[in-house]
Amino acid sequence: MWHFQRINLLDSLINKKYISFVGSGGKSTFIENIAAEAIKRGKSVAITTTTKIYAKEPYILLDKDIFEKTWKERFMRVGKTIEEGKLTGITAHDIEELGKMYAMVLIEADGAKGKPLKFPADYEPVIPPCSEKIFVLCGLDGLSGRVDETVFRWELFSQATGIEGNASITPEAFLRFFSDDILLKHVDREKCTIVLNKYDVSKMRNTIKEIAKSVVHRTGGISVIVSSMMFELFYLVTEE
């Protein structure tokens, strides 16, 4: 028997400090939502990256004295430098140091240029070793879209799967992303939760339940959440 149970996502993260986010399909919004909820519960939160994130206020850049300063802000975005309006990635060591000042450190550890789906390059994702939880996101709005329009690094996806760029992302093609060479690359399965995001804007909403069940089976029981950030809804998919 399958269950789709509505959950408060932060409840499962309340004792986690270092949380990484990889994949595609709304990572930045997802991270900001978790940060806002954590702050409401009285936690201090830092958002940072091992790749790049937009330099939205408030933010601060690392310098040689930064970890000797007293930070009083309950919330901050942190990067090494600014390039083209984005904060650049910091090191794993610096991320651990942030954890000495903040109760929760949220790490965007992957990039997808706003695409619903992605195929990682050889050097991706960049997950820091201190990560206690890893969310793997993908956008349900990629379903039925053209490969070359919905997949970041679609050429690599085509080479790996034989699916041409002008083909559509069928449910079968969508499931292919949940493999060790794509979205689960370098991801510790014991720490992993898969997020099927953007349910509200999917053109194939009537198929999502079956797809979610298939993801659970394909990944050997990794936790799967179906989410809508627009409505702040999160449903945990489980089988008894």
The predicted pLDDT at position 152 comes to: 97
What tokens does 41 get?
A: 């519960």
The predicted pLDDT at position 203 comes to: 86
65 versus 26: which is more confidently predicted? Answer: 26
231 versus 131: which is more confidently predicted? Answer: 131
For residue range 190-210, list pLDDT tens digits in order: 999 999 999 998 888 889 999
The predicted pLDDT at position 68 comes to: 57
Mean pLDDT for the stretch of residues 220-231: 92
Q: In whole angstroms, what is the distance from residue 29 CA to residue 97 CA?
A: 24
HEC sequence for the chain: CEEEEECCHHHHHCCCCEEEEEECCCHHHHHHHHHHHHHHCCCCEEEEECCEEECCCCEEECCCCHHHCCCCCCEEEEECCEECCEEECCCHHHHHHHCCCCCEEEEECCCCCCCCEECCCCCCCCCCCCCCEEEEEEEHHHCCCEHHHHEECHHHHHHHHCCCCCCECCHHHHHCCCCCCCCCCCCCHHHEEEEEECHHHCCCHHHHHHHHHHHHHHCCCCEEEEEECCCCEEEEEEEC
For residue range 163-189, list pLDDT tens digits in order: 999 999 999 999 999 999 999 999 999
The predicted pLDDT at position 106 comes to: 98
What tokens does 162 get?
A: 């034989």
pTM passes above 0.85: yes
Q: Taking 70 as the threshold, does the pLDDT of residue 161 lie above it?
A: yes
The predicted pLDDT at position 73 comes to: 76
| Other beta carbons less than 10 A from residue 62's beta carbon | 19
For residue range 107-151, list pLDDT tens digits in order: 999 999 999 999 999 999 999 999 999 999 999 999 999 999 999
The predicted pLDDT at position 71 comes to: 63
Report how many domains make up the chain. Answer: 1
For residue range 87-116, list pLDDT tens digits in order: 999 999 999 999 999 999 999 999 999 999
The predicted pLDDT at position 23 comes to: 97
230 versus 124: which is more confidently predicted? Answer: 124
Q: Domain range holding 36? A: 2-239
Q: In whole angstroms, what is the distance from residue 239 CA to residue 121 CA?
A: 33
For residue range 41-89, list pLDDT tens digits in order: 999 999 999 999 999 999 989 875 565 555 667 899 999 999 999 999 9
CATH code of the domain in which 178 resides: 3.40.50
N-to-C CA span, the chain:
5
